[in-house]
A and B are shown apart, each in its own frame.
Chain A
Amino acid sequence: MASITLPWVQRDTEKLSNYREKAIRLLAFIALAHIPIILGAWFLLDPLSTKPADLQDSKVLLVPPLCLGSIGGMLLFAGAAFAIYAYELIGRVLSAPWVAFIIFIGAIFGIVIGVWLHAEILMTVQRDWMPAKETSVIPFVGIEYDHTVQSIYQNNLEGKSVDFPLIGAISIDTPILAYLMFPLQFPLVRDLVAVGGIIGFISLIPGFGIWWERKVAGRIQSRMGPMRAGGWHGWAQSAADGIKLAFKEDYVPPGGDGVLFRLAPYITFIPPICAFIALPFATAWVFRDLDVALIFILAMLGIEVMGVILAGWASNNKWSVYGAMREACQMVSYEIPMGMALLIPVMTAGSLSLTGIAEAQSGGFWTWFVFVNPWCFLAFFLYYVASLASCKRAPFDLPESESELVAGFLTEYSGFRWSMFFFGEYVAMYVVCGLAAILFLGGWMSPFPASSAEWFIAQANIENGMLQTLVKSLLAANPIWFILKATFLFFVQLWIRWTLPRIRIDQVLYACVQVLLPATMVVLLGNTLWILGVSENGLNLGWLIAIDGIINKILAAAGVLTLVGIVGIAAYGYRNNKKLVGWLAVDQLPGK
């Protein structure tokens, strides 16, 4: 790799290489120092012994950290030493086009699969664990538990194997797994693991979202977007930005309210993350399956505005106050049509629980609420517009409108605090898109009816159990479908942002109070009457049911056509990507 030479920096290359060698030596020494710990622990604890006398619960505290953790630690330090030793090689590999792409996609899928596996294990644990004959008690603390290491091993692992599709059966008959599964019987531990998974996913959203937004903006504006950081299409751009922001000056304006100024980013940053507590990714793929999940999420999104107002007020800057006031009036007014538009699918499904609402849409894409009747169809667009405004995305990005308010409430923020606002904003965007996906687009349901999976398995004659699970989850219900739908709606937000100009503040309020609010009221009323006319317990009007069926088919066909159109245009653009696309698909660069 070419090194950057700055003429005004006197670089002592010899000294630098000394530091490098020292670091490699130190890391290698630490890695080697793990070996006696591992050997000693292995010898004393004997984790592979299956004798009942050796499977003691007290060893749970020692086996995972000493026997497995030390191996991980050794690999980590050895890896760090190798990375410093062979950084040139690693840099070359990372900047090779396809390697970086594979690593990038692999990292995303790795985390998704990790979360998936974790959920599978939890489900197995809850389903298959047999209660032991007697309860044990943790000494000193006094917490009772049902499953000892011995019972877990004997009931779940002894002589068992997992049938992988291509590799074949792999035995899981090892007591180490029992030691690892032991803590999962405590709800607190399960919650902590789930929080880890959720935070891992949430951290991906802004990182991926910002990079993607810049790429989408670049494509829309007939340029490339980030291309350097990392190699393949600037995939490491968000990481580079994050590192840059973390090292920037942390400026707190003198004369402002220092405490509130420091507090505000957290108040904006934490509520959207809390919304993920109740946002299901699939059935049983939710941290807490609340009965009032929808209201909880709306409440969490509503708190976000407090942080913005505090930020504007504490900045001691007139532009910031303007931004904060705009955000306040915009958010408060748009919460109403947004909430009312969300009531429509709630009414159609007859449940406030997000899981229940999604389950009601499992019969193929024509039963998704967006297509189910004309009022729900309208409600989807009303909700989407209101959600744009509540996320302060263009064309409603008045609180931070650059050309009017410099940067609005963000004017005085810099560095890490500034990036926290963005983190919160992108997560909130994903939450509102996820809500739209669950309430209107069938959530984690695939576009095919649930019975299609069994039909396919029967037709293709699949016998492998794991393969059957995979087919079922892909053709019936899977978190991947939820993530895909939410990400598509997220993309539409980016698309709108880079296409439309900004609305003026009086027009924003006009659009809410004079247009969206009456429209949602009419749609709510219309939906109520429609359901009353169609449902069997209601009026059960035959002619209305017939119209309902026809309109449902028409709307579903329109939805399919829209998707085909988008994909077709995208494919046309990709095919002509060296030209200026449009109906003027002409070659670029006159005179060359």
Chain B
Amino acid sequence: MADVILESQPDINADLSSDQIQQQDLQTEEMLVNMGPQHPATHGVLRVVLRTDGEMVLEAVPHIGYLHRCAEKIGETVAPYQYIPYTDRMDYLAGMNNNLAFAQAVEKLTGLESEITERTKLIRIVFAELNRIASHLVSFGTYGLDLGAFTPFLYAFREREYILDLFESACGARLTYSYITVGGVTDDLPERFVDITREFLDYFEPKVHEYNLLLSHNHIFIKRTANVGVITAQEALDYGLSGPVLRGSGVNFDLRKQPGSGYEEFDFNVPVGQGEKGTVGDCWDRYIVRVSEMLESVKIIRQALDKLDGTEGQETLHKKGKTLKLPADEIYYEIENPRGQLGFFVRGNGSAIPDRVKARGPSFCNLCVTEKVCEDVLLGDVAAIIGSIDVVMGEVDR
């Protein structure tokens, strides 16, 4: 009886070659691993489901939504100037830039833009660029942390502390500023602000050189990041990436260089990934674009501070800001956030409260490329890639 059963079973290896049989024997089991939402490398509550074969990651699917706070829905219930604090909490590392994007969108919609004084515009640029430096410092520090270098993180935070002190002197807050608001900025600059900022810039500029010595040109760091997570220029454009992630892929596109951005009179370069250590668009390129952008921001701030000297006494907060009626019209306005293009869509209906507020977050759009890049990489590379895309989960989930 037993013989009959054995004979009747088909030989599953009958039509396989010896190589294939060998491969079948060697094949190991695949494993699904949850990276996050509580994981040190995912920068917040990002959850990435990894399909792994040993140390190889075959597939990485990001899952989001652990920090959803209905930020867009809240926009339909409050007046624009009341919505400003909510924008702080989207990309909490770049509160000033978020405030700026929403405030300028509303000003453009209502036509208040023409009444904003020169001094206000300059102050806004100074703070936006200072915050860009602060945000890139966090990105730089945590990227080192992702790759096991603890020390640059502390150095980055030491410098960021000075920027936060400057912000605190201007608006009293150190993280969620709500400083740039509809109609201007909540307060004029404090005493000696310009001098102290200049002193900080003098101190900070050589520090970037120190970071390069410490981390950027470290052999192990280059080995970990060069040729890892390559995003080609075409892919970057196809996926709608923006900011340093797009520029790291070699695409020279920065909204600050576009007409109407308010940066027309400033002289600065747009750092672009060159493939200096590996392929264009690898993790090292994205990283070095951020480090170089800090220096460009220093340049912009210096010029803005020089211009600020001649604008003493100008009005910095327009009284109309709090009593705006939004016309029955809509607008979509984008600015260059540290992480990319942050856009706000606002539709008014004639009352003070908008019908619809929609944000286009750079982190959210950049995150979508993770799945593409994290194919067939090593487990250690996943941390490197997610770190180089530099997402802030507060803004992804909103």
Do A501 and B144 touch across chains, with their CB atoms under 8 A apart? yes
Tell me if A535 counts as interface (CB < 8 A to partner B): no
Residues 187-205 of B at the A interface (beta carbon under 8 Å): 195-196, 199-200, 202-204
- Is B175 in contact with chain A by the CB < 8 A criterion? no
A155, chain B: closest CB distance, angstroms: 61
What chain A residues lie within 8 Å of B67 (beta carbons)? none
| B210 touching A506, Cβ below 8 Å | no
A217 located at the interface, meaning its Cβ lies under 8 Å from any Cβ of chain B in the complex: yes
The answer to whether residues A586 and B379 also contact, given A221-B155, A222-B158, A397-B148 and a CB cut-off of 8 A, is no
A498: interface (CB < 8 Å): yes
* A584 B144 Cβ-Cβ under 8 A: no
Tell me which residues across on chain B come within 8 A of A504, comparing CB atoms: 223-224, 378, 380-381
Given A590-B200, A591-B200, check contact A507 B151 (CB 8 Å).
Answer: no
- In the complex the two chains form, is A217's CB within 8 Å of B380's CB? no
A residues 498-528 in Cβ contact with B at 8 Å? 498-507
Shortest Cβ gap from B168 to chain A (Å): 12
Contact A322 B41 (CB under 8 A): no
Residue of A223, A501, A504, A584 most packed against chain B (CB within 10 A):
A501
The answer to whether A222 touches B196, judged by C-beta atoms less than 8 angstroms apart, is no
Within 8 Å by CB of A501, from B149, B196, B207, lies: B149
Q: Do residues A584 and B206 form an inter-chain contact, with CB atoms below 8 A?
A: yes
CB of A501 within 8 A of CB of B221, answer yes
Is A404 touching B151 in the complex (CB atoms < 8 A)?
no
Tell me whether A128 is interfacial, beta carbon within 8 Å.
no
Residues 359-403 of A, flagged 1 when their CB comes within 8 A of B and 0 if not, give 000000000000000000000000000000000001101100111
A300 to chain B, nearest CB (A): 28
Check if B155 sits within 8 Å of A590, measured CB to CB: no
Name the contact of B380 in the complex, choosing from A220, A223, A505, A590 (C-beta under 8 A).
A505
Residue of B whose beta carbon sits closest to that of A321: B31
Q: Are the CB atoms of B218 and A403 closer together than 8 Å? A: no
- B residues 126-173 near A (Cβ < 8 Å) are 144-151, 154-155, 158, 162, 165
* CB of A412 to closest CB in B, whole Å: 14
Kindly state whether residue A406 has any CB partner on chain B within 8 Å: yes
Which single residue of chain A is at the shortest CB-CB distance from B377?
Answer: A504
Check B203 against A402 for contact (C-beta < 8 Å).
no
The residues of A that contact B150 with a CB separation of less than 8 Å are 217, 221, 498
User: Are the CB atoms of A503 and B224 closer together than 8 Å?
Assistant: yes
Instruction: Report A52 CB to chain B, min CB distance, Å.
Output: 69
Q: Which residue of B lies closest to A504 (CB)?
A: B380
Convert B375-386 into 0s and 1s, putting 1 for each residue whose CB lies closer than 8 angstroms to a CB of A: 000111111000
Judge whether B262 is part of the interface by a CB distance below 8 angstroms.
Answer: no
Pairwise interchain contact A586-B148, C-beta atoms closer than 8 A: no
Given the interface pairs A221-B154, A402-B40, A403-B147, the reply to whether A500 lies near B199 with Cβ below 8 Å is no
Once the chains bind, are A403 and B379 in contact (CB under 8 Å)?
A: no
Residues of A with C-beta under 8 A to B379: 322, 404-405, 505
Q: Which of A388-428 contact B (CB under 8 A)?
A: 394-395, 397-398, 401-406
Q: Which of A322, A505, A507 is B223 in contact with, Cβ under 8 Å? A: A507
Q: Which of A223, A318, A502 has the most CB of B within 10 A?
A: A502
Interface centre among A325, A397, A402 (most CB of B within 10 A): A402
B11 at the interface (CB under 8 A from A): no
Q: A395-B220, A403-B383, A501-B224 are in contact. Are A582 and B210 (CB under 8 A)?
A: yes
Contacting pair A498 B381 (CB below 8 A): no
With most chain B CB atoms within 10 A of its CB, the pick from A220, A582, A590 is A590
Closest chain A residue, CB of each to CB of B146: A403
CA of A179 to CA of B334 in the docked complex: distance in angstroms?
90
CB contacts (< 8 Å) of B218 on chain A: these are 500-501
Q: Taking the nearest CB of chain B, how far is it from the CB of A583, in angstroms? A: 9
Cβ-based interface call for B33 (8 A): yes
Of B40, B158, B200, B380, which one neighbours A406 at CB under 8 angstroms? B40
Please give the distance in Å from A315's CB to the nearest CB on chain B.
Answer: 14
Across the interface, which residues of A come within 8 angstroms of B210, CB to CB? 582, 584
A590 to B207, CA, bound (A): 13
CA distance A582 to B195 in the complex (A): 25
Interface residues of A: mostly helix, strand, loop or mixed? loop
Picked from A404, A503, A586, the residue with its CB within 8 Å of the CB of B383 is: A404
B146, B154, B165, B199: the one contacting A222 at CB < 8 Å is: B154
| A-side contacts of B165, CB under 8 Å | 591
In contact, A505 and B378 (Cβ under 8 angstroms) = yes
A318 & B145 in contact (Cβ 8 Å cutoff): no
- B214 (CB) vs chain A CBs: closest residue: A499
Q: Which of B146, B196, B220, B223 contacts A591 (CB 8 A)?
A: B196
Contacts of B145 in A (CB 8 A): 403
CB distance from A588 to the nearest CB of B (A): 9
* Per-residue interface assignment for chain A, residues 489 to 505, with 1 indicating a CB less than 8 Å from any chain B CB and 0 otherwise: 00000000011111111
Return chain B residues, CB-CB under 8 Å to A591: 162, 165, 195-196, 199-200
Chain B residues within 8 Å of A398, by CB? 380
Q: Known A401-B380, A591-B196; judge A223-B154 contact (CB<8 A).
A: yes
Q: B39 at interface (Cβ–Cβ under 8 A)?
A: yes
Determine how close the nearest CB of chain A comes to the CB of B192; give it in whole angstroms: 8
B308 interfacial by beta-carbon distance below 8 Å: no
The verdict on B215 contacting chain A, using a C-beta distance below 8 Å, is yes
Q: Which of B147, B154, B202, B381 meets A502, CB within 8 Å?
A: B147
Q: Give the residue of A325, A500, A506, A584 whose beta carbon is less than 8 angstroms from that of B149.
A: A500
Measured CB to CB, the closest approach of chain A to B277, in angstroms, equals: 14
B147, A499: Cβ atoms closer than 8 Å: no
Most A-side CB within 10 Å, residue of B39, B150, B199: B150
Expressed in whole angstroms, the minimum distance between the Cβ of A352 and any Cβ of chain B is 35
- B55, CB-defined interface residue at 8 Å: yes
Flag if A502 contacts B220 (CB, 8 Å).
yes
CA distance A405 to B149 in the complex (A): 15
Bound: A401/B204 CA distance, A: 31
Task: Render A306-348 as a binary contact track against B, CB cut-off 8 A, 1 for contact.
Answer: 0000000000001100100110000000000000000000000
Cα of A68 to Cα of B215 in the assembled complex, Å: 61
Contacts of A220 in B (CB 8 A): 151
Residue of B145, B165, B383 most packed against chain A (CB within 10 A): B383
Residue interface mask B344-388, A partner, CB < 8 A = 1: 000000000000000000000000000000000011111100000
Q: In the bound complex, do residue B196 and residue A221 qualify as a contact, i.e. CB atoms below 8 Å apart?
A: no
Report the bound CA distance from A500 to B148 in whole Å.
Answer: 8
Contact A222 B155, CB 8 Å, known A406-B39, A406-B40? yes
For B40, what are the chain A residues with a Cβ–Cβ distance below 8 Å? Answer: 402-403, 406
A218's closest neighbor in chain B, by CB?
A: B154
Most buried by A among B151, B155, B224: B151
Alpha-carbon gap, A70 to B55, bound state (A): 62
A525 to B382, CA, bound (A): 41
Residue contact B162 to A590, C-beta cutoff 8 Å: yes
Restricting to A555-577, which residues have a CB under 8 Å from any CB of B? none
Cβ contacts under 8 Å, B199 to chain A: 590-591
Most chain A beta-carbon contacts within 10 A, residue among B215, B221, B224: B224
Provide the residues of chain B in CB contact with A590, threshold 8 Å. 162, 196, 199-200, 202-204
Closest-CB distance, A514 to chain B (whole angstroms) = 14
Bound-state CA distance A14–B139 (Å) is 54
Docked-complex contact B206 and A501, CB < 8 angstroms? no
**A395 vs B55: C-alpha distance when bound (angstroms):** 18
Mask, A217-229, CB within 8 Å of B = 1, is 1001111000000
- Contacts A506-B378, A590-B196, A590-B200; A498 near B220 (Cβ below 8 A): no
Across-interface contacts of B380 in A (CB, < 8 A): 398, 401, 404, 502, 504-505
* Contacts A222-B154, A500-B149 supplied; 10 other A-B pairs, CB < 8 Å: A217-B150, A217-B151, A318-B31, A395-B148, A405-B379, A501-B149, A501-B218, A504-B224, A505-B55, A591-B200
Q: What are 19 A-B contacts with C-beta separation under 8 Å?
A: A222-B154, A222-B158, A223-B154, A318-B33, A322-B55, A322-B379, A325-B54, A402-B40, A403-B40, A403-B145, A403-B383, A404-B41, A404-B382, A500-B220, A502-B220, A502-B224, A505-B55, A506-B55, A590-B199
Nearest 7 CB-CB pairs, A to B?
A: A502-B148, A591-B196, A221-B154, A501-B149, A403-B41, A590-B203, A501-B147
